[in-house]
Amino acid sequence: MGGVGSGRLPKSAAAHREAGTFRSCRHLNDLASVVSPAEPKKPRGLGKLAAAHWNKVVGHHKGKGTLCELDAMFIQYASELWELYQEARKAAKKNPGDFHISSNVVKYGSMWKDAARLLGMTPVDRPRVKAEPTKKTTLPTRHR
């Protein structure tokens, strides 16, 4: 059976060090230890709730190398969805009988949940978000 994505997720280098099973020949290229050269920059014009969401997402990933500048648009999308979802919830509490408002709560919530999974915001998806490995060039060694 097997295949791509089957089986357990690999341990991080820190977990191997803690367990005493760290081997530099196997765990040196650990994905969790790669640091991204540039983190996403917060866009202007985010609302109060969207800006708070942005800060939480970027703050969680800071220094892990899991985000880069290209992720700014997706984080902005997720942050704006969070703000729309929260505003729709407030409107639904004020007018619980309005079908259109309550359906917007469900739509925005579902869309945000899908985006949150990709950003590793759920406990199940958190270990799946990893940094891209950097390619190291090694010089060939001569054996005598």
Cα dihedral: 45, 50, 54, 60 (round 10): 170
Report the share of the chain in percent with pLDDT over 70. 77
Q: Which of 99-103, 123-127, 139-143 is most confident?
A: 99-103
How far apart CA 123 and CA 140 sit, in angstroms, is: 42
- Reported as a pLDDT band with limits 50, 70 and 90, residue 80 is very high
C-beta separation of 57 from 81 below 8 A: no
pLDDT band at 31 (very low <50, low <70, confident <90, very high): very low
Cα(119)–Cα(75) distance, rounded to whole angstroms?
8
For the chain, give every domain's residue range.
36-128
Q: How far apart are CA 24 and CA 30, in angstroms?
A: 10
CB 79 within 8 A of CB 46: yes
Of the pLDDT bands very low, low, confident and very high (cuts 50, 70, 90), residue 30 is low
User: Above 50 in pLDDT, residue 37?
Assistant: yes
pTM for this predicted structure: 0.64
Closest by CA position to 63, among listed 15, 10, 131 = 131
Give tens-digit pLDDT for 81-109: 999 999 999 999 999 888 898 999 999 99
Structure tokens at 137: 């060039």
CB contact set of 71 (below 8 Å; sequence gap of 6+): 40
More reliable by pLDDT, 127 or 132: 127
